[in-house]
Amino acid sequence: MKTSKLFYLPGYPLEVDQLQWLKDARALRERLLQEIKQAKRRIYITALYLENDDAGREVFAALIDAKKHNPNLDIKLFVDFHRAQRGRIGEKDGHGSDHMYRQMLDAAQVTFEVYGVPVKTREIFGVLHLKGFIMDETLIYSGASINDIYLHQHDRYRLDRYHVITQPQLIETMIEYLNHVLLTEPKIQSLLVAEKPSKLTVHRFIRRYRKRLMQKQYRPGTLSIGNRVTPLVGLGKRTNMLNKTILRMLRSSKEAIFMCTPYFNPPTAFKRALGTLLRSGIQVDMIVGDKKSSDFYIPPEQEFNLIGVVPYIYEQSLRRFLKKFQWAIDKNLLNVYVWKHDDNSFHLKGLSVDNRYHMLTGNNLNPRAWGLDLENALLIHDDKQVWLPAFAQEKQNMLQHAKSMEHYTELETLSAYEPEVVKILKRLHRFRISSLVRKIL
């Protein structure tokens, strides 16, 4: 039997106690605040955004307190350049989170670095989607950003995955990437300067910057056998090592794969690989979010707009896939679970192959993640199967509020949707725009 190329993929050695799991979003919040408070040397936080809400302000205030108690503490916050400088969708207040950063730092009379990372000249065509909260020698890795719902600050939560890794070499290579790849023009990228550079200056910078992002990778480590962790990063389609590794994972499977994604909208190559696996007799388990657990879903009591059709587009995509592979469902080769818990939302991402390779990532496994956004991931090689019980328990936790799909007809048809949804979907289909929506959202 031919050995998978994944077996030789280099990484950093990972001991049993260097990988831990956090239970839920509240545990993430508590651990993050604890690690910030006790940090002695450095705090590097990377997220799509740190929101101007209760949870975001609490975390930002914790960073300020840490800096006050230890002026030599190296603190850098990296968020998406465009996302940080606009208000939330639907809000009339035009202030972005950067306004809050400046206000809170000025009031506290301390300072630390807050940088915006631009991937494209417009947010809709690409964002910073890297993950990782580093405090000294501890990495908290999750698909979550920082706001009320991701940290379960109030009544609602957004379910994600939460891992803590204490591998010093891995952390150093991630720090190196942040300092020498993400940070290239501090004056342009700083979000603490009220007077912004001109659009022409920013656009010229972004064009150079994007090429750099597409070329640079994490240092991969040197260990090619045994339990280890491989950091991966990718942007664009042609040279994207993350995308290539995901496909390599799928094609290397001999027994079973498990995947989770907020919605079913895989790139064409990914979808074809799933079909090949099923026809080869490989078991495929997946968890996706119900349309009502999507962060794009608009409840009936709120005013409906175009963005609200996105969950319905994804549901129809899943329905078509299940219809095509109903035979695999009947043979128990394909097991699809749809998650819904009250009015909470679903944000799980990741891929496991043969209970041996586990990809932890914020990657949505969709065309946008594969072509537009800057993504990263950590590939855990569990050669000795030491984390098998922990990953199995994590999967059971994911399934707690998930329903198994026995037949594709359990998902609604277009005619069952609200009239305004049907009207927009038909219009998108008529003008052949729905495929574009799937690529950019």
Residues recognised as catalytic: 129, 160, 347, 375
Q: Kindly state the helix (H) or strand (E) to which residue 247 belongs, with its residue range.
A: helix 241-252
Strand partners, 75: 43
Phi and psi for 292 in degrees, rounded to 5? -80, -10
Phi and psi for 191 in degrees, rounded to 5? -95, 5
The burial of 251, by beta-carbon neighbours within 10 Å (0-12 exposed, 13-18 middle, 19 or more buried), is given as: middle
Q: CA neighbours within 13 Å on the CB side: how many for 397?
A: 17
Rounded to 10°, the helix 25-38/54-69 angle is 20
Give CA–CA dist 319/323, Å, rounded: 6
Q: Kindly state the helix (H) or strand (E) to which residue 34 belongs, with its residue range.
A: helix 25-38
Give CA–CA dist 172/267, Å, rounded: 32
Which amino acid does the sequence have at 270?
A: F
Strand order across the 113-117 sheet: 19-21, 162-165, 138-142, 132-135, 42-46, 74-80, 113-117
105: its two tokens: 């730092």
Residue carrying structure tokens 């990809």: 359
Helix, strand, coil percentages in the chain from 3-state DSSP, rounded to 5: 40, 20, 35
Which amino acid does the sequence have at 265?
A: N
CB-based contact 49:80 (threshold 8 Å): yes
